[in-house]
Amino acid sequence: MKRFVAVCCLLLLFFTVPVQALELSAPSAILMEKETGTVLYAEGEHEQREPASVTKIMTLLLTMEAIDSGALSYDDTVTGSAHAASMGGSQIWLKEGEQMSVRDLLKAVCIVSGNDAAVALGEHIAGSEDAFVERMNKRAQELGMNDTHFVNCTGLPADGHLTSAHDIAVMSRELILHHPDIRQFTTLWMDSLRGGESMLVNTNKLIRFYDGATGLKTGSTDTAKSCLSATAERNGMELIAVVLKAPTSNDRFEDAKTLLNYGFSNYALVKVTPETALAPLPVALGEQKTVQPVLTKENTLLLDKARASNLTQTLHLPECVDAPVAQGDPLGELVLTDADGVTVATLPILAGESVSHVTWWQMMLRCLSVAFGTV
C-alpha cells in the first residue's frame, strides 16, 4: 500500500506542472479532477481573495449534508425571517413570513444565487445565520481549507470574508463527489418559483453553452470582480475550474472554458480492472486452503491521454502464501505500463478475506486424515 501511495504522489507531482502556461484573465485559477482530486493546472491558487456568491457552495454543501444525513428533507417547509428578507444583491424577493420548501430554496440558490434563499436555509438548519457560519468555518477546517474564513453564508462584501481558488475547488469537489443529487438544481437553465410567478434563469451561462457543463456557482461584487466555480463532465471525467477576480463576467466564463478545454484535451480517467479474474491463492497452514486476492478499491487513475491508451497489465502474485492472512494484507501487485514500456502505476493486490493459522488440534486431525486416507 505504501508503494501505491508513493506512485500516486509521483503522479500528482507530475500533473500539477502544466505543459504550458494558459492565457487567463484572472489572477487566481485552478483546475481539479473530481474523482482523484488531482490538480491539473494552477495560478495564484492560494492567494486569499473575496469569493462573492461562490461562497454559497459551502452553504449548498452543508444543506446537502443535512439532507443526506436525514436531518433535513427537500419537502421541509422554511419560513422566511426578517433578516433573510433584508438581504440585498441577488435575491428572489423572499418576504418575511413567506414559506418555501427546501427544494425551492435550493433551486433559488443554485440558479439565481438568491441571497435571501441562502440565509433562509442557513437559519432553518442552524437557528441563525451566525450559527450557520460557524458550521461553515468548522467544515472548511475539516476539509483543509486553510485559506478560508467565512463571515456570512451569501458572499456579500464583509471584512475578513476570504478564501482561495484552491479552497473553492476543494469544497466544490466535496459537494459534487459526495452529493451528486445537487445536479438536479445546478444543471437547470431555466425554472420557476411560486407556481410559475417567479422565473429563474441560471447565472452560469456555461450550463447552456458549454458541452458537458454540470454546474456550479457564479459570484460577483465590485471588489471581488467576477468569480466562478465551473464543473463539467465528459467521457466519465468531471473537472472543476475555479476563477477568481476576472475583470468581467464574460472573462470568467472564457477562463473557465480555457481551463476545462485544457483538461479534457490532455487527460483521461482510467478505471483499472484485471484483464482476467484473479484466481484464489493456496494458503499454507491455513484454516482454509485458499485466499481470494482482490484489486485495491483505489483503482482509478488520472493519466495523460497519450499514456492512457494501449496500457499493458503485468500481474505479480506468489504461488502460495503463509497463514495467518488478514483481510487487506498485500499479496502482490498489478503493474501497468504504457506503449513505450514505461510504468504508469503499480496497484496492490490485497487479501479479500482473513485466513487464520490452523490450530494444533486441527493439524493433528489433518495428519490423521492423511495417514488413514480419508482425504
Q: Which of 25, 28, 53, 226 is catalytic?
A: 53
User: What is the arrangement of strands in the sheet containing 312-316, beginning at the earlier edge strand?
Assistant: 293-295, 343-351, 330-337, 312-316
Say which residues have a Cβ less than 8 Å from residue 61's Cβ, sequence separation at least 6: 139, 171, 174, 175, 179
Catalytic annotation on 245?
Answer: no
Backbone torsions φ then ψ of 98, nearest 5 degrees: -70, 140
Q: Which of 28, 81, 113, 229 is catalytic?
A: 113
Q: Which of 34, 56, 217, 245 is catalytic?
A: 56
Catalytic annotation on 53?
Answer: yes
- Per the structure block, which three cell numbers stand in for 255? 477562463
Q: Which residues of 120-152 are buried (b: 16+ CB within 10 A; e: fewer)?
A: bbbbbbbeebeebbebbeebbeebebebbbbbb
Q: Where are the beta strands (DSSP E) in 8-93?
A: 28-33, 39-43, 77-79
CA 277 – CA 181 distance, rounded (Å): 34
CA 216 – CA 193 distance, rounded (Å): 20
- Relative orientation angle of helices 115-126 and 129-142, to the nearest 10 degrees: 80
Q: Where are the beta strands (DSSP E) in 188-311?
A: 190-193, 198-201, 213-221, 225-234, 237-246, 267-271, 281-284, 290-291, 293-295, 300-304
Please list the active-site residues. Answer: 53, 56, 113
